[in-house]
Amino acid sequence: MDAHVRLDIHPTHSSAVTATLTGAQAHIPHLCLEAADWHVVAKNTLVLARIDHEEPYWAREAAHYLAAEGITVEITPRLREAMDEEWTWADYPMPWCTRAEIREVSNEAQKIYDDIRYGHLRIHAHAEDGHTTVAVGTYLSNGKSVHLHGENHLRQITDTVDSPAQALAEFEQHHGDAMHIGPAPMTDTERAAAEALTSLDGPPAVPRPPNPGPETVPAYAADPGDHDALLDAFLNEHGGWEKWRTWSDETTHAIHEDQTLRIERVHEAHPRDTAWTVAAYETPVSDRMWVLTATGATPAPVLQALLDHLADGNGWDTAVGAPVDEKTVTAATKPLVDAGWKHTVDGRWIRWTSAAEDVGVQFDAFVAQSPHTTLSTWTLWAGPSIDRPTWAIHASPYAPAPMIARLTEELAHGTGSRQPSPGAPPRLTPRPASGAPTTPRPQAGRRR
């Protein structure tokens, strides 16, 4: 067969593997590798990048398969050395497992990760549980909901539930205080795997020229700016708020004088973690009526629009209302319709996206009928996708339509400033680990 495959170590990600295809029938190994979850990064070039660092093993399996099909396979010396190397995970939590069993556990974790990444498994919420992450989600193919435990190569399905509502209720019961809406931020391992699938280029050899001055961009693409300064300016300009900072100096709380509206600002939050929480109450001692959260990378103009709305004495509605209806949704999304955003319906989710599909609003009709949940009815986001947003705002079922409308108006028509970055878009700072490491590094050992 006129097809040749050269397998090598990725130039910038040590555990990932590249495949370079040549020959008149290169399309045959191309299809075989794609079917085995190799990803195209350039013409006749594919990459295998996993979260369990087992790429050399699976590359060897691919080489055996291709060779059996009559395809010439070349393996570089450094990749062959990695294939022959024996190693084990440091402090592996299941020490009784054999190397083959460890690989099997890791492969199941990889399948879960791929299902999440491809959108087959939608994660509703996550929480920190000790030194790891737990989550709840639903498979779109069969409607089954699952509870997940662990990160990276240790993620497992711990329970399967027929009803998404039951799964959400159970998760909220066990992790209500620590629960966050949507999927957890990417781990360092997940981020490295994603980067390996984008390009084979290494870091630039020559420093880039200094950035020019700020440019005017749509509000949703603006820089986050100084969130602390935004809050301080808001409180200084609008009386009637009591403010204090926690003893650890990590969080500022602000309560309106009627004690029915409260703001929590986490100062050192990761760009994709919750940095703002706004909550309203019917009375100072009642249960929470609605809640809105914003992540640390939320652009300054969008946050300013939110604060401007809250500055209005009637900016929040704490009256007991009915579940969200069509009239409420229409009022909240009118600015998007007026701006010509694309409108789609996908089961329980109603979505509006810009022409460039880099910003959107999602309404969850299922959650909207559960007023006492802390899950989000509204999701406002910008970035590569709603599952991997650069920033996001989440709001619960009774969030006032005028407030959502003020935010959607800013997304559709507002502008802000951004310091341009030459070349690729700026990266967010990797999330620091909390507590014990959840992704042990493999320790190499020589074959005896």
Mean pLDDT for the stretch of residues 415-420: 87
pLDDT at 283 over 50: yes
Q: For position 157, what pLDDT does the model report?
A: 94
Average pLDDT, the chain: 84
User: pLDDT for 294-321, tens place per residue?
Assistant: 999 999 999 999 999 998 765 555 444 4
Positive/negative CA dihedral, 209, 214, 219, 223:
positive
| Of 206 and 352, more confident | 352
Mean pLDDT for the stretch of residues 236-264: 84
| Of 294 and 287, more confident | 294
Mean pLDDT for the stretch of residues 241-253: 78
Q: For position 211, what pLDDT does the model report?
A: 55
User: pLDDT for 433-442, tens place per residue?
Assistant: 333 333 333 4
pLDDT at 199 over 90: no
Mean pLDDT for the stretch of residues 400-408: 93
Mean pLDDT for the stretch of residues 324-339: 91
Of the listed ranges 59-68, 317-326, 356-365, 385-394, the one predicted with least confidence: 317-326
pLDDT at 426 over 70: no
Positive/negative CA dihedral, 163, 168, 173, 175:
positive
Q: For position 423, what pLDDT does the model report?
A: 42
| Of 204 and 45, more confident | 45
Domain ranges of the chain: 4-87, 99-196, 215-418
Of 105, 150, 104, 142, the closest CA to residue 120 belongs to 142
Q: Which residue has the tokens 């108006």?
A: 409
Phi, psi of 70, rounded to the nearest 5 degrees: 85, 15
pTM above 0.75, yes or no: no
Q: For position 374, what pLDDT does the model report?
A: 66
